[in-house]
Amino acid sequence: MADSAKVDGTKGKNGDVKPEEEYEVEKIIDFCRDEKGRDWYYVKWRGYSSDDNTWEPLTNLLNCKKKVKNYHKKLYLEQKLLKQNSKEKKKRHRSEEGLKNSKDCKRTKKDEEDEVDEEEDEGEREARELRKQLKAWETDINNKCTDPAPITVENTADMEGPPTNFTYINEYMSGPGIDIPNDPLIGCECTNCYENAEVCCPSLPGAKFAYNRYGRIRVKPGKPVFECNKRCKCNAKCPNRVVQRGRKHKVCIFRTANGCGWGVKTLVDIKRNTFIMEYVGEVITNEEAERRGREYDANGRTYLFDLDYDSSQDCAFVVDAGICGNVSHFVNHSCDPNMVVYGVWIDQVDPRMPRIALFACQDIKAGEELTFDYQMTGASREDADSSRTEGMFAEPGSIICKCGSENCRNFLF
């Protein structure tokens, strides 16, 4: 049914309880956002009196996207109209005082309708300009992105445009005083790395071959992943070359409706244990991260990821994706994530500087938002679960979590 909503079995014309079913939305009357960042809408149901109006979460209105969008557009125009100053109003029409003092002019209903139409036209112009800006941004990041799969951008939630202080990069960028070594000393001699797993690259540091023959991760989170490097004799199709081949799944950067800003969703189904994307940014020292962390905390968000894979040593390096990063910059946190973090070594020889790879920890359907737990470090899942106040971010704070999962910890860190 068009413009229908699925609600709990608590509603009937005479107050009788009915099983869960769909009702037709006549119009949306009001909107609010609760303390957890969830959107609620006050709904007038078609065929029911105003006494039967109810507050419904956005999840109950998935078949009413057009009505929700039109409501927010109308709300935006009303708010914009209220903010206009008197000078702007005088440029558009004569002031009410002028109409009162004029004997030759009378304000007609058509005048009022024309003004509403003018406001709607301006709102549509701004919407078109927003779409144009987002399309230009989408083109720009796809021109810079070296991954095989494209990125799309959409915003159907508000009027927020592209970020103004963000540069798309594809790999680690050296921060002040940082050297990123990428010249491995040795490579394997294999012609079939999967069949020769016991003597391939992972065996040199005493690790296991991390992937199955289809390139899916088969070692537990916390275990190191050593891929074949540029000195190896194997070709680009080697099953031990996964992260280095880049993101292969189409994704969309989208504006969330739950107050979490931008997010990332997959546009295709993804199987469990499949590589999805890398987390890249500027590599900086721990001391520099402490300084930047205080600035980020003042804004209630941070993008600092500690490269603390080796828990026996102090964290020497941190990845900052705040200003320079890839699509992972926009991935949101969840206390019940569908991606998990692994530390991966390829061409880099410094054991303190792994690449950060995000793999699917469950089957993910097309359209689902991609998330990971901001407290994961890549060291071990058990460590992350047992230490809820320690995580990948350099400067812990008291930022409220909006993930909405059943096992939500209420705070990010």
Tell me the pairing of strands 317-320 and 151-154.
unpaired
41 neighbors 27 (Cβ within 8 angstroms): no
337 neighbors 362 (Cβ within 8 angstroms): no
Active-site residue identified among 23, 296, 342, 374: 374
Please report where in the chains the tokens 């994530």 appear, as a residue.
337
- Is 168 catalytic? The answer is no
Active-site residue identified among 23, 172, 279, 309: 279
- Is 279 catalytic? The answer is yes
Active site residues: 279, 374
